[in-house]
């Protein structure tokens, strides 16, 4: 089963500049794909198109050859979940209630499968190490904690494709590492994961495939070392940036002071 | 196990609320310009006494009025809950859409043209409300941010329709007092026919909200998350818009503009029963009925036989409760 975007183009309004132009990307089970690029390069729009939130003007997004629009909404929600950048500022729910909403696509019209849902939530809470937050009110959490809860909700929603838009934003270094460790566990269990990020410091270490975007198009794609080469990054970020991949503590990104 | 316990405690609390509504109903039947004993009420309701003056008052005056008040309270609190969910804003009220003022404009037009009979009021009020909804929907469908645009158009149309209503009052002549009194909200024009019409819209709204409640929970998480969860966002938003508009327009067309019920009842019931909408929808409806029947009983008993418009009572009760909710209970965040 693969999630594919074939030559998709997208603009937010008629006659406005294209935000995505002829982008193709493939996400397979067990794979972690990272989309990188500066602000405004089209990463989030691509994630939204892949999730079926936005519909491309040209091209097609499909799962196993079936266009997303041909798959019933609930069935699609069970196949792929999006944790968007949008975090509710205020919610009347507890963390447990937010997590339970991840089970929505599995419910019948009225009833919920209580014990199944509770087991699923308990497994996810253990995996994402949210035990200490479960009974707190969502509104009382910090920005980073809210993001972790929303990520956990998305993990509960699907077992096939997880699309995470800037998942490491608001997270401290420890929780960023923890997040990518969790994503690796999920990928090993067969989940296909796509993340978007403008941050080159941590994410590349955990990826199978990296994609670099600039001005709505893909300028490089492949292994992280290949795609995020000094030349490619310099083109995308318009900065002289060097990366030391083999540093023992992880990668070192040296941001040049000179604009290109 | 926790879930079963919470289910049981919910049923207990719901039973208590229903018992409270029964007690309020009995009290409302007893109170008024003519005092009626609980025994007489029970005899009338059980069919043993149908000819006495007391039973005539109960059957023809008080019962339809109490039922109308209860249904209005249910409609307004459900419309408030739907508006707060649609706009993801705890301060949203059923009157934010501008439909209520559209409905008031329709009803006032009806009063000036056709006189003060109940049927013309209801028809014109509903027509005004539905026309203002269609106008807002037509304008909002051209914009990108649907709910944001609806909210702003609601504010604009509220101001516009309110100006028209005020302007029409200048030409009301001797009908001015009746129209102003009606605009303040009240149930003195209650009839079985009006109750029947309102029962139809209220029960329809309640059934629709019970069906939509699981999706409404997810809607609160945000547009993208809702779509990604399998919700047809625009369809759900339109349903909620329709529910808010029809429920509030129906109440305005039979009872005038009654404030605060739609704003505070969802919050009060949320404090006791929690935020989960499958549980909140039924209790919100019952809570709204209780508060409105109580307010109407005060309105017609306090200075009997003189009657105070119920909108004044609900505002007098509602404003301090809202202040308490914001400053003390929720400390600035009404979703807490």
Q: How many Å apart are CA B104 and CA B111, to the nearest integer?
A: 10
Cβ distance A157 to B3 less than 8 Å, yes or no, reads no
CATH code where residue B135 lies: 1.10.3470.10
Is residue B191 domain-resident? yes
Closest CA to B118 of B57, B45, B178, B52: B178
Is residue B300 domain-resident? yes
Cβ distance B220 to A93 less than 8 Å, yes or no, reads yes
Under DSSP, is residue B171 helix (H, G, I), strand (E, B) or coil? coil
Cβ–Cβ contacts within 10 Å for residue B327, how many? 10
Task: Note the pLDDT tens digit of each residue in A187-246.
Answer: 999 999 999 987 777 667 788 999 999 999 999 999 888 888 888 888 888 776 666 665
Task: Note the pLDDT tens digit of each residue in B232-271.
Answer: 998 999 899 899 988 988 898 888 888 889 999 999 998 8
Is residue B27 domain-resident? no
A81 neighbors B228 (Cβ within 8 angstroms): yes
Q: Tell me A137's DSSP state.
A: B
pLDDT value of position A54 = 92
> Can you name the residues that pair with A214 across neighbouring β-strands?
A217
For residue B267, give the chain A residue with the closest CA: A92
Under DSSP, is residue B141 helix (H, G, I), strand (E, B) or coil? coil
Predicted confidence (pLDDT) at residue A256 exceeds the cutoff of 60: no
A80 phi/psi in degrees, rounded to 5: -140, 145
B241 neighbors B133 (Cβ within 8 angstroms): yes
Q: How many Å apart are CA B31 and CA A147, to the nearest integer?
A: 54
Is residue B251 domain-resident? yes
Predicted confidence (pLDDT) at residue B335 exceeds the cutoff of 70: no
Residues contacting B164, CB < 8 A, separation 6+: B105
Separation in Å, CA of B234 to nearest CA in chain A: 12
Is residue B335 domain-resident? no
Burial of residue A86, with CB atoms counted within 10 A of its CB: 0-12 exposed, 13-18 middle, 19 or more buried: middle
Residues contacting A10, CB < 8 A, separation 6+: A18, A19, A20, A45, A49, A54, A56, A57
Q: How many Å apart are CA A16 and CA B194, to the nearest integer?
A: 53
How far lies B240's CA from each of B213, B248, B252, in Å?
10, 12, 18
Selecting from A73, A86, A101 the residue whose C-beta is nearest the C-beta of B217 gives A101
Is residue B243 domain-resident? yes
Selecting from A48, A102, A107 the residue whose C-beta is nearest the C-beta of B214 gives A107
Cβ–Cβ contacts within 10 Å for residue A117, how many? 19
Task: Note the pLDDT tens digit of each residue in B192-242.
Answer: 888 998 999 999 999 999 999 999 999 999 999 999 999 999 899 989 989
- Interface test mutation site (partner A, options B230, B268, B273, B329, max chain A beta carbons within 10 A): B230
Task: Note the pLDDT tens digit of each residue in B290-332.
Answer: 999 999 999 988 887 888 888 889 999 989 988 888 887 666 5
In this structure, are strands A239-244 and A252-259 parallel, antiparallel, or unpaired? antiparallel
Q: Token pair of A47, please?
A: 């994630």
Cβ distance A88 to B228 less than 8 Å, yes or no, reads no
Topology given in CATH for the domain delimited by A3-259: Rossmann fold (3.40.50)
Q: How many Å apart are CA B5 and CA B20, to the nearest integer?
A: 22
Closest CA to A212 of A201, A202, A226: A226
Separation in Å, CA of B255 to nearest CA in chain A: 32
Burial of residue A128, with CB atoms counted within 10 A of its CB: 0-12 exposed, 13-18 middle, 19 or more buried: buried
A65 neighbors A145 (Cβ within 8 angstroms): no
Q: How many Å apart are CA B7 and CA B247, to the nearest integer?
A: 29
Task: Note the pLDDT tens digit of each residue in B104-143.
Answer: 888 888 888 876 577 777 788 888 888 888 888 788 877 7
Q: How many Å apart are CA B73 and CA A18, to the nearest integer?
A: 50
- Structural domain count, chain B: 1
ipTM of this complex prediction, to 2 decimal places: 0.90
pLDDT value of position B1 = 46
Is residue B43 domain-resident? no
Is residue B235 domain-resident? yes
Query: What would you report as the CA-atom Rg of chain A, rounded to the nearest whole angstrom?
Result: 19
**CB-based contact, B211 to chain A, within 8 Å:** yes
Cβ distance B229 to A104 less than 8 Å, yes or no, reads yes
A42 neighbors A121 (Cβ within 8 angstroms): no
* Domain range summary for chain A, segments of one domain joined by +: 3-259
Q: How many Å apart are CA B100 and CA B249, to the nearest integer?
A: 5
């Amino acid at each position: 089963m693969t999630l594919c975007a074939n030559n998709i183009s997208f603009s937010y309004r008629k006659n406005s500049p294209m935000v995505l132009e002829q982008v193709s990307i493939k996400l397979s089970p067990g794979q972690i794909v990272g989309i990188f690029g500066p602000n405004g390069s089209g990463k989030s729009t691509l994630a939204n198109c892949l999730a079926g939130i936005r519909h491309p003007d040209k091209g097609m997004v499909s799962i196993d050859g079936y266009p997303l629009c041909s798959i019933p909404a609930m069935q699609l929600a069970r196949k792929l979940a999006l944790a968007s950048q949008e975090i509710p500022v205020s919610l009347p729910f507890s963390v447990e209630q937010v997590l339970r909403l991840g089970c929505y696509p599995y419910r019948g019209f009225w009833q919920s499968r209580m014990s199944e849902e509770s087991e699923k939530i308990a497994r996810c809470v253990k995996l994402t190490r949210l035990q200490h937050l479960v009974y707190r009110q969502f509104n009382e959490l910090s920005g980073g904690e809210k993001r972790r809860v929303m990520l956990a909700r998305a993990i509960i929603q699907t077992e096939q494709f997880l699309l995470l838009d800037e998942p490491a934003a608001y997270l401290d270094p420890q929780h960023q590492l923890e997040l990518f460790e969790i994503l690796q566990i999920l990928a090993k269990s067969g989940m296909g994961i796509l993340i978007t990020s403008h941050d080159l410091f941590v994410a590349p270490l955990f990826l199978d495939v990296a994609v670099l975007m600039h001005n709505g198009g893909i300028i490089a794609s492949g292994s992280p070392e290949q795609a995020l080469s000094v030349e490619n990054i310099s083109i995308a970020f318009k900065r002289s940036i060097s990366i030391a991949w083999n540093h023992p503590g992880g990668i070192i990104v040296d941001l040049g002071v000179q604009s290109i | 196990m926790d879930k079963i316990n919470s289910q049981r405690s919910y049923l207990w609390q719901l039973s208590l609320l229903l018992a409270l509504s029964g007690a309020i109903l009995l009290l409302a039947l007893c109170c008024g310009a003519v005092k009626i004993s609980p025994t007489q009420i029970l005899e009338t309701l059980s069919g043993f006494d149908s000819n006495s003056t007391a039973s005539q008052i109960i059957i023809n005056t008080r019962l339809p009025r109490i039922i109308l008040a209860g249904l209005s309270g249910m409609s307004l609190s459900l419309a408030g809950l739907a508006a707060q969910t649609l706009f993801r804003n705890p301060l949203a009220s059923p009157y934010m859409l501008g439909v209520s003022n559209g409905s008031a404009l329709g009803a006032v037009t009806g009063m000036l043209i056709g006189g003060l009979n109940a049927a013309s009021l209801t028809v014109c009020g509903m027509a005004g409300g539905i026309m203002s909804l269609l106008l807002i929907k037509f304008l909002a469908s051209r914009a990108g941010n649907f709910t944001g645009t609806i909210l702003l158009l609601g504010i604009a149309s509220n101001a516009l329709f309110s100006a028209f209503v005020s302007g029409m009052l200048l030409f009301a002549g001797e009908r001015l007092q009746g129209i102003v009194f009606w605009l303040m909200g009240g149930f003195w024009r209650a009839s079985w026919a009006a109750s029947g019409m309102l029962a139809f819209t209220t029960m329809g709204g309640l059934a629709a909200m019970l069906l939509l409640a699981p999706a409404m929970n997810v809607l609160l998480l945000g547009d993208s998350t809702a779509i990604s969860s399998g919700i047809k966002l625009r369809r759900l938003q339109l349903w909620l818009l329709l529910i808010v508009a029809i429920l509030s327009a129906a109440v305005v067309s039979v009872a005038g503009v009654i404030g605060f019920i739609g704003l505070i009842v969802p919050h009060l019931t949320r404090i006791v029963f929690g935020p989960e909408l499958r549980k909140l929808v039924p209790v919100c409806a019952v809570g709204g009925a209780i508060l409105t029947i109580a307010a109407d009983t005060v309105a017609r008993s306090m200075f009997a036989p003189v009657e105070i418009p119920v909108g004044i009572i609900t505002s007098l009760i509602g404003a301090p409760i809202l202040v308490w909710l914001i400053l003390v209970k929720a400390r600035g965040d009404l979703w807490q």
